């Protein structure tokens, strides 16, 4: 695979076929120029005069994956995630560089970052865009909002309508792409309840209203109970995790067209919370309870038609596990693949991400096999392209995107 074909005019990437974010198109390839897709179609139509052809060797092209909920600096398998977020900026930066490489190698080309400290997410986002650091395109929230002492309040808690409005405004001015709040406790902390609400309906409404004034959407970490219902009723874009959703929660989400972002790798993978917090019985008890709920609910939320995306929640390099888990639990491979691509782009408000078609970003992954026939193919990423440029291969090579890659539009 040539390295910089896309710098020199249109390139046709041809392999076994293309999954365009909605359906499989056997025998098609992707025509790319200046970081964008010009068209998806057969070589006979698209690989004409003046077009360079990059033979993907029988590989299958899918849109770059969207990790809809993750963090740059955390490694759950090491335990005490809140302690990790309290470490020094230098410590976090060193680990962030490697975590971002792993994300890219697993085929994640866009990621939504859901809380960091030290402004590290803003800095990494911009450094990646400048081509200085290898990693997926990031959409960042800065520090998430939680009341003092609540799960996720390590950066200092915020409560009350006035201070919350100010906090939203401050994040927007710093350049946040979205706002993250915590309306329930978490699985990975001791003593935080999973089904109470951290914030009142009035507080959540104020956050959503203030964010809307600066053009931002709000997502809420919430597992179940009133913390979900109040968030949903007050205009939250998405519920994050939703590990203990009740029938009532699911019905409310369906009624309000609220997104659900499940994060099953951190919850089920043996190297997730299970490994990191193995010696904290209160946390392991929460993990076991949450697993039972999620396994029962993953069908209910699909049957209810809830819009659905997936995130690894810091399980860097293991994105494919999210899809394998869904299929192992009865989802059709097509639905899992759509959740990982087009749905992710829709959640982020990016119509040119998670899809491959005329005008979309040329962010794509080459797989050796058809994931609709065998979903584990998504765990065998052969190569990753961002804006039409190869940035990672299975051989281990990873590099930044082109410096200041100015993708038109």
Q: Which is nearer to Zn ion, 114 or 372 (CB)?
A: 114
* 114 near Zn ion (CB under 5 A): yes
Q: Which stretch binds Zn ion (CB under 5 A): 27-35, 138-146, 306-314, 395-403?
A: 306-314
CB 184 to Zn ion: min, Å:
13
Q: Which is nearer to Zn ion, 20 or 121 (CB)?
A: 121
CB 71 to Zn ion: min, Å:
6
Q: Which is nearer to Zn ion, 39 or 237 (CB)?
A: 237
Site string for Zn ion, 263-302 (x = CB under 5 A): ----------------------------------------
CB 318 to Zn ion: min, Å:
14
Give the C-alpha distances (Å, rounded to integers) separating 277 from 87, 165, 248, 314, 348. 18, 35, 31, 15, 31
What is the three-class DSSP state of 206? helix
Q: Which of residues 42-101 bind Zn ion (CB under 5 A)?
A: none
Q: Which stretch binds Zn ion (CB under 5 A): 9-17, 109-117, 175-183, 281-289?
A: 109-117
| C-alpha 54: how far from chain center | 29
Q: In angstroms, rounded to a whole number, what is the distance separating the alpha carbons of residues 312 and 29?
A: 29
Residues touching Zn ion, count (CB under 5 A) = 2
**Closest-CA residue to 103 (of 380, 386, 317):** 317
Q: Which of residues 311-340 bind Zn ion (CB under 5 A)?
A: 313
CB 371 to Zn ion: min, Å:
25
CB 49 to Zn ion: min, Å:
50
What is the three-class DSSP state of 266? helix
Q: In angstroms, rounded to a whole number, what is the distance separating the alpha carbons of residues 31 and 16?
A: 14
Question: What are the residues whose beta carbons fall under 8 Å from the beta carbon of 271, sequence distance 6 or more?
Answer: 76, 77, 315, 318
Q: Check: CB of residue 345 under 8 Å from CB of residue 310.
A: no
**Closest-CA residue to 221 (of 322, 145, 132):** 145
Q: Say how many C-beta atoms besides its own lie within 10 A of residue 95's C-beta.
A: 18
Residues of this chain that bind Zn ion (CB under 5 A) = 114, 313
């Amino acid at each position: 695979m040539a390295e910089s074909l896309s710098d020199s005019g249109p390139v046709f990437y041809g392999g076994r076929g293309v999954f365009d974010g909605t359906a499989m198109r056997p025998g098609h390839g992707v025509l790319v120029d200046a970081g964008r897709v010009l068209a998806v179609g057969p070589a006979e139509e698209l690989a004409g005069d003046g077009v360079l052809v990059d033979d993907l060797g029988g590989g299958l092209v899918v849109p770059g994956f969207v990790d809809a909920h993750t963090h740059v600096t955390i490694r759950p398998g090491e335990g005490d995630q809140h302690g990790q977020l309290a470490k020094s900026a230098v410590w976090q930066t060193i680990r962030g560089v490697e975590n971002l490489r792993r994300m890219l190698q697993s085929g994640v080309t866009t990621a939504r970052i859901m809380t960091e400290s030290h402004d590290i997410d803003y800095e990494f986002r911009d450094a990646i865009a400048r081509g200085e650091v290898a990693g997926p395109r990031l959409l960042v929230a800065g520090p998430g909002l939680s009341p003092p002492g609540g799960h996720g309040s390590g950066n200092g808690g915020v409560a009350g309508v006035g201070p919350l409005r100010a906090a939203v405004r401050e994040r927007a001015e710093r350049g946040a792409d979205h706002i993250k709040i915590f309306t329930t406790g978490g699985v990975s902390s001791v003593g935080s309840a999973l089904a109470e609400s951290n914030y009142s309906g009035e507080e959540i409404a104020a956050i959503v209203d203030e964010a809307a004034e600066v053009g931002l959407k709000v997502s809420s970490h919430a597992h179940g109970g009133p913390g979900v219902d109040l968030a949903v009723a007050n205009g939250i874009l998405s519920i994050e995790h939703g590990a203990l959703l009740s029938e009532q929660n699911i019905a409310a989400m369906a009624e309000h067209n609220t997104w659900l972002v499940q994060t099953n790798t951190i919850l089920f993978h043996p190297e997730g919370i299970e490994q990191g917090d193995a010696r904290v019985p209160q946390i392991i008890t929460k993990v076991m309870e949450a697993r039972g709920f999620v396994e029962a609910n993953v069908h209910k939320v699909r049957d209810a038609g809830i819009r659905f995306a997936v995130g690894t929640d810091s399980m860097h390099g293991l994105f494919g596990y999210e899809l394998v888990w869904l299929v192992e639990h009865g989802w059709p491979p097509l639905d899992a693949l759509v959740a990982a691509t087009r749905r992710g782009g829709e959640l982020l408000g990016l119509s040119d991400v998670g899809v491959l078609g005329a005008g979309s970003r040329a962010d794509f992954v080459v797989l050796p096999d058809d994931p609709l026939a065998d979903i584990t193919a998504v765990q065998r990423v052969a190569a990753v392209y961002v804006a039409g440029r190869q940035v990672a291969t299975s051989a281990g090579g990873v590099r930044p995107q082109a410096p200041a890659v100015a993708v038109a539009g």
